[in-house]
Chains A and B, each alone.
Chain A
């Protein structure tokens, strides 16, 4: 059974803190993605990675960075959290960027 896990289900952080969200997949997929999900806006792509150490900006990369040092792990970093980054963050992996994506359960982040 395919599995994508995210390090936390819920996080509460203060404005200005550095935040790390971790994602691990066990399917040996080349591609990994970070989305944020907000009511009425669907899923918006923040960053994706098509190989180890390779990354590409999505539609809303501002305020975020990513790291992919190993194939199975993709990290999202909020360098200085702001209240407008309060959201649900979803990680996904897939064989190709336009094919089926397998999602983790999400991390609900609250920035105070």
Chain B
């Protein structure tokens, strides 16, 4: 069974701080997606990474896919209160479906 483990599960930081969220597995994934979910809403796709070693940037967010395609990270620079939410990674499994990590709840305090 392919699993994705996210860490940390909870993160509470002050506005302006940097942070990194990790998404790890012992299995290889053909691609990995990152979603953000705000309270009362469904998850919304932020980015998809496909190639091992790939780095993608979305304003202050930097996403990296591990060389072996078993892990990924999300780095936020100078976090803002608007970044508050639940961050989910999801891998395209060998059964043809998405497997989701358990999520990282981020709170950015003004």
Do A and B pair up? The answer is: yes
How many residues does chain A have at the interface if contact means C-beta atoms less than 8 Å apart? 23
The interface residues of chain B lying within 8 Å CB-to-CB of A99 are 92
Asked if B97 and A4 make an inter-chain contact with CB atoms under 8 angstroms apart, the answer reads no
- In the complex, are the beta carbons of A98 and B42 less than 8 A apart? no
Contacts A4-B42, A90-B42 given; does A100 touch B97 at CB 8 Å: no
> How far is B1's CA from A11's CA once the two chains are assembled, in angstroms?
33
B contact patch SS: loop
Total A-B contacts with CB atoms under 8 angstroms apart: 52
Given contacts A98-B30, A98-B93, A100-B33, contact A106 B41 (CB under 8 A): yes
Q: Which of A48, A98, A102 has a CB less than 8 Å from the CB of B92?
A: A98
Asked if B41 and A105 make an inter-chain contact with CB atoms under 8 angstroms apart, the answer reads yes
Interface presence of B31 (CB below 8 A):
yes
- Residue in A9, A43, A104 whose CB lies within 8 Å of B88: A43
Using A40-B102, A42-B101, A42-B103 as known contacts, say yes or no to A100 and B45 having CB atoms under 8 A apart: yes
B: which residues have CB within 8 A of A?
6, 9, 30-31, 33, 40-45, 48, 88, 90, 92-93, 96-98, 100-103
Show the binding face of A for B, using Cβ within 8 Å: 4, 9, 35, 40-45, 48, 58, 90, 92, 97-106
